[in-house]
Every structure is written in structure tokens, then in C-alpha cells.
Structure 1
Amino acid sequence: MFVSVPATSANLGPGFDTLGLAVDLRNEIIIKPSKFLSISTHGEGADNPKIKKNTLFLNIFNENYKRLTKRTDNFRFEFHNRIPISRGLGSSSAVIVASLSAAYEAAGVKYTKREILNQALRYESHPDNITPAVMGGFNVACVENGRVYSKKRRLPDYLKAVVVVPNRTISTAKSRTVLPKMYKKEEAVYSLSRSSYMTALFMSESWDLLRIAAKDKLHQSRRMKMMPELFDVQKLALKHGALMSTLSGSGSTFFSLAYEKDAPKIAQSLRSRFPQYRVLILDLDNYGVITKD
């Protein structure tokens, strides 16, 4: 059994906890029946004792496998992690989505992606990362009565993601502490208008207007102050042709969307200015979670 889940970039500027898209940087898990529990971890987190045990994955997998089968069985899990951990690229959501999909596959129970998405909400209350992890593409999502309602737009091949992955983390929990308890009405309207506009631009493929729509007054600049060099990352990416450049999730990764022809120039300028950071050019992903027997 094989499960593959893409990285995601959420918020996308003004789309706080509602907008997200998937990029083709995947965690893959191979699962086989076994006489005893066996775990091997490769790639991101392989040298981290906490990550190496994959506790979150196993807890969710075991809970749901038992719920579906009324049994407790052993498996061999082989993890190949490519999504940077705690960098704002949806590593936790990828684990949640992968473990749920694996549990249904191992149990032999038929399911839909929508069911996986709604189950994932039990472990992650914000839908902006889990939705593109499940569905792929660009997604706008909201939660009503414990269910995720979302709309997806496939992303064209001529667009690329340029991501800057700093060598330091910004924890989601810590980054939320810098956000105010109350916002001014003008700030809320500013970001609401641009989030709505961004959704319309993605749905209509009006890419050249994204720079206007990506501006935000709710969370982005407040979080970026925790790592001030991110302001320079954003400025440089936009200067060299990025269609939009936003904090990925709560950071520390920065996400830029670009035409394919412009991506190498943007990446090179960022590598030259920030040699200590990883700069990746990635395809966008339209498939979301993939499972095979």
C-alpha cells in the first residue's frame, strides 16, 4: 500500500485560514502488514528522534484503523519525507491526511476524499492546509457544523511555485500570539476585499492582478516581524517578476507564484541574496492525496 500527500501553502496573504494551494513536494509512505510494528524514516526529520517515531501518524492511523475494523493489527511503515517540518508548508496536515487515507486503505473500507477531509477536521480545525492536501489545486474553504465546504480550481502547468525555506522555524502557536485580540474594522474590510478578489482571480485565471489581491492587514506583516529578513525576500521576489509573494502558512517559508519563464530568474536572485536558505522551484499539484494498493 502506498500513500502520497503534497505540501501546501495556506493563507496566501489575505486568505487567513481559508485559502490554500498544493505544490508538488510530496511525503510518501509505504505500508505493509507485519508480525510486529516496524518504522523507518527517510528524508526530512529522519535525524530527529521525535519525528522519527512518527507518533502523530501512528496515533491517528491506529485510532481510525481500530474504529473501522474493530481490530488492532501490526504494520511496517516506511516514511519518505520531503516536506520541510514546521516551515509553513503543511507538514502536519500532510501527516493527518496521509494517516487517515492509509487507515481507510488498510481497513479495506471504501471512502471519498470529502470523507477524508471532514475526518481531518477532527485533528486540524483550520481547513486552509488540509483541503489542498486532500484535493490538490487552489482551494477556498470554510467550516460549517463540523464539515468542510470547499471549492477547487485546477492550476495550469505554466505557473510555478518559488519557495524560500529559511533555516529557522516559526511555530504556528507562537506566531498566533503576536496577532491582536481585536482588529479595526478598516483592517478587516481591507483583507476581506482582497481575499475575495484573490479567489475571483484564481477562478478566472487573471494572474497579473494577484499582486494587488495578495496584500493583507490581518496577520502577515505581524508574523514576518518575527523574522524581518522575510520582508526582503518578498520585495526581491516581486522585483524580479513574481505574480504574488506571501508568507506560507505562518512561516517561516515564503511562497511566490510565477510564470514558468520567470521562475528561474526569481529563484536565482533569492539564492544570491539568501545563500543560507533553500530556494526551490516547484510544480503546482492538482491531485492532492494519492493512494495505491
Structure 2
Amino acid sequence: MYIGRAPSTSANLGSGFDVVAVAHDAYFAEAYVSVGSGCGVHVKFKGFDPGPDNTVVRAFDKLFAYLGVCRGVEVEVVNKIPIARGLGSSGASAVAALSAFVREAGLEVDPRVVVEAAGHGEAAAAGSPHFDNAAGAALGGAVVITSLSPLDLVRFSPRLTFVVGVPEVPPMPNKTKAMREVLPKSVEFLTYVRQISRVAALVAGLAKSDPGLVARGMQDEVVEAARAPLVPGYGRARKYALEAGALAVALSGAGPSVIALVDDKNADAVKDAVLRAYAEEGLKAEAKVASIAEGALGQA
């Protein structure tokens, strides 16, 4: 039996919608995998159970199709990443399971194949494939999707510190799908130009491990502007975090979690400010200081 362990991830980071994600050590998902005879995947979830049509099963189906193989696989997922909080829990569970499987089965698999399979598995939760969270969970560091067809990406290893705030809010049915449906179908050209400059700053900042550039890229007037009004407590949490010294604040994925880029010296103050903001909103919450994490495929 092999154990796969994948970190939580925060996608988008403001302007990098669907193409940028960071892996961090706030939380982890684990998968215990054994390979036997026959063909088919049986998955058990400890804690939250998404049902028989889930990201892990779909990811295995896609991986088997890519590789032209089918094995009998038993999987137990222990996902300690808060569910439906914008922290990549579904992608991490699939990546943890696939990474353990390829090691247990003794297969040599291009990491991009694992990312693509897990990203297609995300359709079970989001309604359509997306690859940013899966790439971060698999490869760790910061990832940038550079092509969707064929899938390609680059990975960076920035030295950055974040505060991740996770409020307890009533679950939104089909949250990821719903949060995609509120996005604008078009933007004005000047808005597009401003957004491109922010994405460029974000990617350059991640490549150079430059917090100032990353902070500039975490500003967003397109996706976050559409989503923020639907996220309980976000406005106050963002305001208080910036007042406490955060360099930038954004929704983590589709929310409701927030991710604040911080200097180490301000990390605890920002964490306390985020918790105070949620408390004033009448929300229970957890906040953690987090660093960039290694991905599931980087672990021996």
C-alpha cells in the first residue's frame, strides 16, 4: 500500500483566473491506495463523502484511458482540507490518490498526465474540467497553466508567506459551478489591458519570488469583482487584513476562503485581523500562516 499526500491550493490569486495556483501547507489530503487484480476503482472517503460520481473516480477513469491500462484499485481518502472552501480539496484528493497509484503500480507517468487526469476529474465538482488546483497539488510551488490544448504548464518555487482564512459559512449548492456562472461574458478593452498587466506582474513575481510584483498581480477587477458580493465576510476580512499589513488579499479560488500575502513580521497580526473580521461578521473561522508546499509527485 502506498500513501499519497497532496497539499491545499489557492487558485487564481486575483488576476490569474484558471491559470495560476499556489500550493501551501495550510492543509493536506491523503489517499491510501492498494493495487490488486481485476479492473476498476473502489473509493472510500473518511469524513465527507461526495458520492459515487466524484473527482477521484473520474480522475482514475481518465488516467486509465490515457495509459491504456486498467487495474483493480482500492482507495481510501482522508481529506483534511476544508470542503467547498476554495482550497482545492477535490483536486487534492484526486492527485493524492493518483500519485499513490502510480507508485504502487510501478508506472512511469509524465506528471502532466496526472495533472490532466485530475483536472478532468474536477468536472465532478465544478461541472467542467480545470487544471490549476490539480497542477498545484501535484507539483507544488506555484504553477502557471501555459496551454490547455495540449495541456502545458510551468512551475516556480517562490519563497512567500500567506495567511489563509477559512470562514464557516453555509455551503452553497454546486458552489464552483455557481461561482463561474456569475462571471462576466465580456469586458471592456481597457479593462482587458489592465488585467493582462496584472497577470504579467503576478507571473513575473512568482518567477522572481518578488512579493511586490505578486501583490500587484493579486489585484483583480473582473472575476473577484463579480464574486466578492456573494462571499460572506470577505469585504471586512480583506479590509482588516490590509490594515494589519497584508501586501495583498484575494479570494482563494471561488472562496469563501481568503488568502493574504504577508511579510513574515506581519503574519500573526494579519491572521488575528482576519479572525477579528469574521468574528464581527458573526462567523466562526480558522486562520493559518502558510508557506509554499511541495506537491504530491515531489514526495518519495
TM-score range, shorter-chain basis? 0.7 to 0.9
Q: 5+ unaligned residues in a row in structure 2: which ranges?
A: 123-128
| Counterpart pick for 1:288 among 271, 280, 295 | 295
Is 1:90–2:79 an aligned residue pair?
A: no
Amino acid at match of 2:99: S
CA contact (8 A) 1:190 1:216 kept: no
CA contact (8 A) 1:62 1:103 kept: no
Map of 2:194 onto structure 1: 190
- CA deviation map 1:185-209 (0-9, x unaligned): 1211111111111211222222134
Aligned-residue offset at 1:62: 5.7
Is 1:243–2:247 an aligned residue pair?
A: yes
Map of 2:125 onto structure 1: none
- CA deviation map 1:216-268 (0-9, x unaligned): 12110210111252111111111111121101111111111212221111111
Work out the CA distance in 2 between the residues paired with 1:210 and 1:244. Answer: 8
Change (3 A) 1:243 1:54: farther
Is 1:152–2:150 an aligned residue pair?
A: no
Map of 1:222 onto structure 2: 226
Map 1:52-71 to 2 at 5 A.
55-61=54-60, 64=63, 68=67, 70-71=69-70
Identity of aligned residues (%): 27
Map of 1:9 onto structure 2: 10
Change (3 A) 1:219 1:74: closer
Change (3 A) 1:281 1:223: same
Change (3 A) 1:59 1:114: closer
Map 1:130-145 to 2 at 5 A.
130-145=134-149
Work out the CA distance in 2 between the residues paired with 1:104 and 1:15. Answer: 30
CA contact (8 A) 1:65 1:103 kept: no
Amino acid at match of 1:30: Y
Work out the CA distance in 1 between the residues paired with 2:113 and 2:44. Answer: 28
Q: 3-state SS of the aligned residue for 2:265?
A: coil
Deviates most, 90-99 or 32-41: 32-41
Aligned-residue offset at 1:108: 2.2
CA contact (8 A) 1:7 1:133 kept: yes
Q: How many residue pairs were aligned? A: 284
CA contact (8 A) 2:119 2:130 kept: yes
Map of 2:284 onto structure 1: 277
Q: 3-state SS of the aligned residue for 1:23?
A: strand
Map of 1:30 onto structure 2: 32
Across the aligned residues of Structure 1 and Structure 2, the Cα RMSD in angstroms comes to 2.8
Map of 2:97 onto structure 1: 99
- CA deviation map 1:42-76 (0-9, x unaligned): 4xxx1x4x43768432343366458758555253x
